Amino acid sequence: MSESSIVINGNRADLIMKQDLVASAVNDLRTMMQDAITGGVKNIFIDMTGIKVVDSMGIGLLISTQNSLSKEDGQLEILNISADIMDLFKSMRLDQHFSIKGE
């Protein structure tokens, strides 16, 4: 089970990450966010305070989530990412795909 939690308020969901966004965590998080989108959520905010690593499967999850939200005219926003992860995301131009804010 995922150690992270999601708080849904109307069409907004806040995901509080408690584990690194890596392959072993992706399935649970995907289910969590997909259930929220199916339930009517249009905007997801992910708080990455304390998250040390995001691997390519984690990046894939963020992109597929943004792809799903944009079909609903919604968006994904990533908050409080570390400098290392910001550098990784920018090198892949992910800041052009969804909103990213550093710590």
Chain contacts with another protein (rule: CB under 8 A): 22-24, 52-53, 55-57, 59-61, 63-64, 66-67, 84, 88, 91-94, 96-97
CB-facing half-sphere around the CA of 95: CA atoms within 13 A: 12
Minimum distance, C-beta of residue 53 to another protein, in the bound complex (Å):
5
Minimum distance, C-beta of residue 78 to another protein, in the bound complex (Å):
15
Minimum distance, C-beta of residue 89 to another protein, in the bound complex (Å):
11
Tell me how far apart the alpha carbons of residues 36 and 40 are, in angstroms, rounded to a whole number: 7
Q: In terms of CB distance, is 7 or 49 closer to another protein?
A: 49
Tell me how far apart the alpha carbons of residues 14 and 6 are, in angstroms, rounded to a whole number: 6
